[in-house]
Amino acid sequence: MSDDKNSAIESVKVKLSRTRTWGGMETENVYRPETGIDQEYEEKLGDPGQYPYTRGVSESGYRRKMWTLRNIVGYGAPEDTLEGIRSALAAGTAGINVVPDALTQQAVDPDHPAFGVEVGAEGCSIACARDMERLTQDIDITQSGVAYHYGMLAYAVSAAVATRRGISLDKMLGSSMPDFLSYSLSGWGQQVFPAAFAHKATLDCLEFSTQNSPYWAVAMPQAYDLRERGAPPWGEIAYGMAIVNRTMEDLVSRGLSVDEVAPSLAWVSTSDIDFFEEVAKFRAVRRVWARTMKERFGATNPRAMSIRMACHTAGKSLVYQQPLNNLSRVAIQSFAALCGGVQSLEACTFDEPICIPTPEARELATRTQQILAHEVGAARTIDPLGGSYYVEALTDEIESRALAMLADIEEKGIVEAIADGSLEKLMDEHNLTQEREMASKDRIMVGRNDFVPGEEEQPKRFTFDKENTRKHIARFIEMKKTRDNDLLQDKLRKLYLIAQGDDNFHQAMIDAFVADGTIGEVWGTVRMANGLSYDPFHVIESPFSFN
């Protein structure tokens, strides 16, 4: 390093570039006790573990039960990801989150003629029950659950695996994210996943899993994706609650009760870079949730009123340039999540904006959480920022903005507003505003639009041998030839008939997966039964006939 560069770094001056929060709320220079926090304590905050749960869902906090320290894994064939799971567990990770590749997420088979290059590229390819069996071969699914980082069919394939192993569905652990409306809104598009169809798929999945697998957790709403797609903290609550409310209403009209369904749910949240704003957001989510469940849906079960939160730090906040800076960002965001009282946390790896995580980066993400747990004291005391004039004011402001936005969305209806593109437009406008602020440096991201580093070494990228992936595809094609295709045809026909009507089609999907059906075949059949094309990309036709 030259002397010039050294002195430039040592003499650097910092001035405030922005008085608004990262989400866009104006802030005061100082906050005072004018909001009457003490008088409203019971009503607005309550002790941890007490309604409205603003300060936390448990009275014992992290002292009795630490947050689940999670690490995401997923690449290549199931065998490759299995290796990753083993090394993450060896590094001290408590829970495994499996990220599937984009094809698996969208129920497209790995032998689809248009997308072969994507198999295993950004996650693990899990295209049938046998693939999931390979992935979970070390795991007793009645003792420890895998958190599947996707919604599409994760539960049904897991249930098929359980069935094939002779395990009753009510013993099955694990979790998945079947919030299809959020996917429909955050990039999947109406041509692939029409909103009304997405909504029905979510209802069926929730109805079936809460009734048959009480230990299977449902990550819903998938508010993380909504934030990443383009929403401020209050937008996370507004979009998330709009989806939850509609889902609850429709489940109630199917005869389920909120007391029965809500305890299975976990809010999938993000933690962006504005520390105080995010802490306030977590607190506001709990308060809005509790009041909604109690006042709107008449919940009486405290577990239904207290929402658990799973947090993954904000991928979009990370910067490609000088990527080691992301370690600082992720540490602060993780700290915010813990001050916000989340139940599980995935810290992004510093190389997230560059590639899927390298093993080194994954290890450091785990270390970040361990530093917070053991050195920083993040777990010592519940809601450490409760009572801060600033954080309480932010919590109130986020709540009131969220409720106003929610009312707007519900006036049209969340399904309708997704279907007609109006929410997508709102998100586009949000992103455009942020981009303009970046261009004018009203919003500064270090390394991206200011303090840009000069020539840098190219970041190290994760690579893995594609040999397993090639074998996996060949094995998949072979499996389709050698399985009992008559049996499968029979199962798919039954699925087709049931999915045409209003009955829940999940057991029929599970049966088809038990009979070695593939994700493309099973979901394609459900699509056809709902008047859609077998292949969302209109390249292939169903090899089965249902007449």
Partner 1 sequence: MEPLDLEQIISALRAGELRTAARLISRIENNDPELLPLLKKLYLLGGNTQVVGITGPPGAGKSTLVNQLVSSYRQNDKRVAVLAVDPSSPFSGGAILGDRVRMSRHDADPGVFIRSMASRGSLGGLANAAADTISLLDIMGWDLIIVETVGVGQNELEIMRHADTVVLIQTPESGDAVQAVKAGVLEIGDIFAVNKADHHDADKLAAAIADMVASKGLVEGWIPEVIKTEAVSGKGIDELMTHIGAHQNFLKDSTPAVRARNLQKVRFRVLDICKQNATRKLLEGQYASDIEPKLSAVVDRESDPYTVAAELID
Partner 2 sequence: MNDSANPQSGKIRCLLGMLGTDVHSKGIRTLAQLLRDAGIEVIYIGEHNTVPGMVRSIIVEDADVVGLSFLSSNYLDYCEQLRDEMRDAGASDTPVMVGGIIHQEDYEALGALGVSGIFGPGSTTQDVLDFLQQATGKTLN
Residues of this chain that interact with partner 1 (CB under 8 A) are 189-191, 194-196, 412, 416, 419-422, 531, 533, 538
Which residues make beta-bridge pairs with 270?
Answer: 312
When binding is defined by CB under 8 A, the residue of 89, 94, 121, 252 that contacts partner 2 is 121
**Do residues 46 and 383 lie in contact, with contact meaning Cβ atoms separated by under 8 Å?**
no
Residues 448-467, one symbol each (x = binds partner 2 by CB under 8 A, - = not), give x---x-----xx-x------
- Using omega within 30 degrees of 0 as the cis cutoff, is the peptide bond preceding 52 cis? yes
Question: By C-alpha distance, which of 268, 294, 297, 278 is closest to 53?
Answer: 294
Q: How far is the CB of 108 from partner 2 (least distance, A)?
A: 6
When binding is defined by CB under 8 A, the residue of 79, 118, 133, 420 that contacts partner 2 is 118
Q: How far is the CB of 143 from partner 2 (least distance, A)?
A: 34
Q: Should residue 324 be labelled a site residue for partner 2 when binding is judged by CB under 8 A?
A: no
439 binds, among partner 1, partner 2, none (CB under 5 to 8 A by kind): partner 2
When binding is defined by CB under 8 A, the residue of 51, 390, 537, 546 that contacts partner 2 is 537
When binding is defined by CB under 8 A, the residue of 49, 189, 359, 413 that contacts partner 2 is 189
Q: Should residue 232 be labelled a site residue for partner 2 when binding is judged by CB under 8 A?
A: no
CB nearer to partner 2: give 228 or 490. 228
Q: How far is the CB of 222 from partner 2 (least distance, A)?
A: 13
When binding is defined by CB under 8 A, the residue of 23, 95, 230, 386 that contacts partner 2 is 230
Strands 265-271 and 174-176, how do they pair?
A: unpaired
Q: Quick one: CA dihedral 389, 391, 396, 397, positive or negative?
A: positive
CB nearer to partner 1: give 204 or 236. 204
Angle of helix 195-212 relative to helix 233-253, nearest 10 degrees, comes to: 70
353 binds, among partner 2, partner 1, none (CB under 5 to 8 A by kind): partner 2
Integer Cα distance of 256 and 250 in angstroms? 9
Integer Cα distance of 384 and 412 in angstroms? 39
Q: How far is the CB of 247 from partner 1 (least distance, A)?
A: 18
Which residues make beta-bridge pairs with 346?
Answer: 70, 312
Q: How far is the CB of 206 from partner 2 (least distance, A)?
A: 22
In our burial notation (b when 16+ CB lie closer than 10 A, e otherwise), range 195-206 reads: bebbbbbbbbbb
531 binds, among partner 1, partner 2, none (CB under 5 to 8 A by kind): partner 1
In the chain, the largest separation of any two C-alpha atoms, in whole Å, equals 79
When binding is defined by CB under 8 A, the residue of 432, 450, 474, 484 that contacts partner 2 is 432
- Using omega within 30 degrees of 0 as the cis cutoff, is the peptide bond preceding 194 cis? no
Residues 6+ apart with CB under 8 A from 36: none
When binding is defined by CB under 8 A, the residue of 360, 441, 539, 543 that contacts partner 2 is 539
Q: Should residue 355 be labelled a site residue for partner 2 when binding is judged by CB under 8 A?
A: yes
Q: How far is the CB of 446 from partner 2 (least distance, A)?
A: 13
Integer Cα distance of 321 and 171 in angstroms? 46
How is residue 212 written in tokens?
């048959």
Under DSSP, is residue 145 helix (H, G, I), strand (E, B) or coil?
coil
Number of residues that bind partner 2 (CB under 8 A): 43
CB nearer to partner 2: give 256 or 540. 540
Q: How far is the CB of 121 from partner 2 (least distance, A)?
A: 5
Q: Could you say which residues in the range 27-56 bind partner 2, by CB under 8 A?
A: none
Q: Quick one: CA dihedral 251, 252, 254, 260, positive or negative?
A: positive
CA atoms within 13 A on the CB side of 240: 36
Q: Should residue 222 be labelled a site residue for partner 2 when binding is judged by CB under 8 A?
A: no
Integer Cα distance of 249 and 238 in angstroms? 16
The residues binding partner 2 (CB under 8 A) are 102-103, 105-106, 108, 114-115, 117-118, 121-122, 183, 186-189, 191-192, 228-230, 316, 319-321, 353-356, 427-428, 431-432, 435, 439, 448, 452, 458-459, 461, 536-537, 539
